Structure 1
């Protein structure tokens, strides 16, 4: 009688033959489905002792890996062999602390911890490379003996595949033991069959069950709080510390309390504790007595939340992009539209839309939600934007004055007749003259004082040369020169915009938009503390925004509390987001270094990807990036999402080639739906 796993595997082979149009005889030499061994720890221990020194135990969460690891260790020790173990699941470790991986030696009645390495995360799938690296450091400290490695329960998708193959290759695993539930297919079967190691597929114990999410959270929290029971407070200057991992922004101090943290020396963990607060450049943390500190501090996303449970903090990342724009951002394509995919990014407080798609003129519309305000990055063909958007544009950021980047100014000029406030334009040297020339190309004898008004600023190094121009007036008004610090163009209560100058054979500006962090009152926490809403909440948020954390806030019951205390208990922080826009730049070392620095850790990176590497000579001659160069810059900057655009028209019938080259250089490329690529081909 065949098991469900064998039946599923044979079905896979049949589908494989049908899909690739090959005969079953041709797959006779292919690896056969893995035979399943019964759950017999004594027999398994004999197999392990017969050969191999490093054993990786795998399987889905709750399948009994930790229980089997302990049983095997007890049996192996009873047969006169030393047995060591590594618990490599930071979320639910069998021994040691949550947020770490630990090395132990089996000594009845259980594991004795010999060493540990901090990860400061409970998410093995997201931080799989740091996890494998930490396990490798523990292996180097292990005394002689058979080593059992209890792997995380990540056995699906890319994370499961990379974790399995990475651990086997980098840790020199000679035996992989995969636990499998009855009637279910073997997880990662193809990856297992491709491994150079011995693979044993074993039936899971029939009573193995995954505990509930809340139960796991309570268990890890109890272990963590017991560890911190005798902790003391240490105070450090943040300026003396090098932060590594994925720390929250230092300008969002409310995101720091409760974060698991570890002090590192020469790549090894010295001590681990929990952040109390970040205030005035001072960092306070709880550490066990006699713990050492260093100048390197590791933080990721493990955090004790306001409910007291140790969990994973929300990552500081923007939401996913989409390709069907909301109607208040831009209209749907006209019948003659052929610009290819038009990505729309949804930020916490804004939408960012590439109005003309990836092939047509550059024009990024950033719509600030609930503000009736828009920002534009470049001014290519604007015919697809309604006039009401032009009425609400407050700032325009021009990369340079080639016609496909500034030709849409005439739409803006015509749409703003009627006494609207001055619109600010920023760009490279010469922009004032270009705008004045465009305005002077028309007769303005009938508009009176309602002519469109513009304030133009040219970037000259760390200086802004400025002028005010109003259509219908003969002379422009030169404004006082402004000095910039660190490229800061706009410092608005809602956002900031910085710029750098790049080379395209002519100066070109790239821009970084950063929204401010937002404070929100946690209504559940408010009720839990028996407090009612009122004007005092606005006062609290204002004090927190202004950094006046020692201010006393009078509550509805006429008592007073410090702002920092109330903030920790009642206020959640939605961090700001960073969007970077860069187009038309030559692939030079200076351009790469400058743009990488500007785009560092950006949530969304809009970057030109004009040519394929096969056409690199054309890219060099015209001062543009190839898809490969675009992807490499995004990878070096560690952006969260790369949105490529400004593709050469020569690829209209094969846009997939551009995306293929991009994804080979960067894993963060936002891919459009296949039907949008097909639609592009039909319309061209």
Structure 2
């Protein structure tokens, strides 16, 4: 396969570039990745051309990092002596040009129609990869009738979207980025855009509108989750024309409280998307809101056996990338979460309550068990695991609080093992004592435990597997209990377009690149198929797109104390799924205190403080078996991200 020859980069010289632009058409698109210097060069070109008597206009088309104008918008400006002067803008209420590329293209097209005659520079978003980058590039060139694409790029990188650029049939000017151009970090960009937004709203009024009187467009969050509205950018529009833009203060009792610049006009149509000022004050893209209704069912190898006598109430099941987590016994039954690592044919268990609904095949594939504490409803299912693993199976690791070795040994020793030979189940047991693991190995029918060397660990990290990590904290239930945080490791995906552009063939070297990047060793040298070598960090920046890992936290049986709250909030911070007990209603708080359990309200408050994406409550007291909706109601009053059965909403 032949690859297009790389286009040479012209030196970074604004005055020379201005001369080249004068010899071409009137519409120039500046294209390149975020932080490459597009906005800086746009302003420099406008200054030079203005000094030569030309009227110069620009559309700032990056809503996340606009060269001028407001974040969350695209703006039309004219160059004056003091810089860009905004003459019109269109609200997008998003910072994500890639996700909302169609609304962005429509908004930029409307601004172009308003622009007077003159040289027009378009400062494009820094989306230069994948389908989003391709569609934005070709869409802007076609809609805006671009004459020239000025591509800013670094010498060490292939030209982004090379094939798309060459297929446009217009003039392409590849230009070397300024040597000092650098990609700003996410926090830097967030602080800059937040400062711009706060300056805009410095003189603002609060208005109150009845939500029922408004036509909502865009991608607003659910109306029944008021917390999801607070801080969102919103814009009043009229036939796709922006009238005003502001920020939602609150949604209360069906009324929207909105902060708008003084004397700003309103309409009946309100645009809301995902640009939002979070609790820390920064203007960022809000996480996509997930519905609380749970419709997902995992595949058969992850599901418990169906039974006619099941009485555990709602049985949550959630999906992560390549994994499924199921509350085996429902919210009223014994605690037991089955986490199925589907692609690895491997299972992890969090607690070991009644296990009779799980298949023997699952027991064969359990590699690790994480016990919160040794009360019978949390460890009684060990006998199922013990019986199911008689045979030639690898050792199963079991983690838990102090005393676990004795508890496991006691259950094994209570059985006569005279006919199994060397096929007795094998276990490695690790008791968590502060920052060390006290370990022992035991095989049923083979005598006493064998002590293993202790392992020291830091920051709660008790498992560091190639695919995931598990961390723990010790909490108080009038006895030590362990809460656990499972987190899958980031995935590295190869950009095949860049791979082809570089003329490299796929091979084992890509796995080595992923491995060293995952380990943080960016200075490692990677040998390529042509026997040359390059630094892993350089190759990773060119070739790898990172998919972050996902986090699931499991916590049950803990007293509502300040120490417990602080420790669990830290462990569960930003978790994708937070499995947490909600044993009693607030009306029964005395019982919760006596027994060392959380109320539903406390559970919701911890989840909210930890800013989890989804709360999966469980371990409800059976006193609420006929009225679980009361538990869910109390939970939802304290947390807006509770996974609830449909009939309880």
State the Cα deviation string for residues 279-302 of structure 1 (Å, max 9, x = none): xxxxxxxxxxxxxxxxxxx7956x
Native 8 Å contact 2:298 2:319 kept in 1: no
Partner of 1:344: 317
**2:90 aligned with 1:121, yes or no?**
no
Query: Against the structure 1 CA distance between its residues 157 and 332, is the aligned structure 2 distance closer, same or farther, given a 3 Å change threshold?
Result: farther
From 571, 577, 584, the counterpart of 1:598 = 571
User: 1:389-468 maps to which residues of 2 (within 5 A)?
Assistant: 389-468=362-441
TM-score after normalising by structure 2:
0.62
From 104, 120, 140, the counterpart of 2:202 = 140
Offset, 1:397: 0.6
State the Cα deviation string for residues 473-514 of structure 1 (Å, max 9, x = none): 232212222222222211222211111111111111111112
Unaligned runs of 5+ in 2: 1-59, 88-92, 101-189, 205-214, 242-250, 272-276
Offset, 1:451: 0.9
User: 1:228-627 maps to which residues of 2 (within 5 A)?
Assistant: 300=284, 322-331=295-304, 333-556=306-529, 560-627=533-600
Native 8 Å contact 1:453 1:469 kept in 2: yes
TM-score after normalising by structure 1:
0.59
Distance of 2:360 and 2:349 partners within structure 1: 14
User: 1:177-256 maps to which residues of 2 (within 5 A)?
Assistant: 179=238
Query: Against the structure 1 CA distance between its residues 608 and 199, is the aligned structure 2 distance closer, same or farther, given a 3 Å change threshold?
Result: same
Offset, 1:516: 1.2
Query: Against the structure 1 CA distance between its residues 483 and 321, is the aligned structure 2 distance closer, same or farther, given a 3 Å change threshold?
Result: farther
SS at match of 1:370: helix
State the Cα deviation string for residues 172-207 of structure 1 (Å, max 9, x = none): xxxx9663689xxxxx9x968999999977699xxx
SS at match of 1:432: helix
Partner of 2:19: none
Query: Against the structure 1 CA distance between its residues 452 and 89, is the aligned structure 2 distance closer, same or farther, given a 3 Å change threshold?
Result: same
Native 8 Å contact 1:606 1:645 kept in 2: yes
Query: Against the structure 1 CA distance between its residues 346 and 525, is the aligned structure 2 distance closer, same or farther, given a 3 Å change threshold?
Result: farther
Query: Against the structure 1 CA distance between its residues 139 and 163, is the aligned structure 2 distance closer, same or farther, given a 3 Å change threshold?
Result: farther
Distance of 2:482 and 2:231 partners within structure 1: 44
SS at match of 2:455: strand
**2:640 aligned with 1:667, yes or no?**
yes
State the Cα deviation string for residues 211-237 of structure 1 (Å, max 9, x = none): xxxxxxxxxxxxxxxxxxxxxxxxxxx
SS at match of 2:438: strand
Offset, 1:325: 2.5
SS at match of 1:341: coil
Native 8 Å contact 1:609 1:644 kept in 2: yes
Distance of 2:624 and 2:527 partners within structure 1: 64
Distance of 1:600 and 1:194 partners within structure 2: 29
Native 8 Å contact 1:499 1:509 kept in 2: yes
Distance of 2:626 and 2:66 partners within structure 1: 52
Query: Against the structure 1 CA distance between its residues 321 and 479, is the aligned structure 2 distance closer, same or farther, given a 3 Å change threshold?
Result: farther
Query: Against the structure 1 CA distance between its residues 543 and 465, is the aligned structure 2 distance closer, same or farther, given a 3 Å change threshold?
Result: closer
Partner of 1:214: none
From 593, 608, 618, the counterpart of 1:645 = 618
Unaligned runs of 5+ in 1: 1-86, 143-151, 183-187, 205-209, 211-244, 247-263, 268-297, 302-311, 679-684
Native 8 Å contact 2:294 2:644 kept in 1: no
Query: Against the structure 1 CA distance between its residues 199 and 333, is the aligned structure 2 distance closer, same or farther, given a 3 Å change threshold?
Result: farther
Offset, 1:163: 11
Offset, 1:136: 4.6
Distance of 1:598 and 1:642 partners within structure 2: 14
Distance of 1:648 and 1:485 partners within structure 2: 35
State the Cα deviation string for residues 347-393 of structure 1 (Å, max 9, x = none): 12321111111111100111112212111110000011111111111
Native 8 Å contact 2:390 2:425 kept in 1: yes
SS at match of 1:505: coil
Partner of 1:48: none
State the Cα deviation string for residues 611-645 of structure 1 (Å, max 9, x = none): 11111111111111011100110111111111111
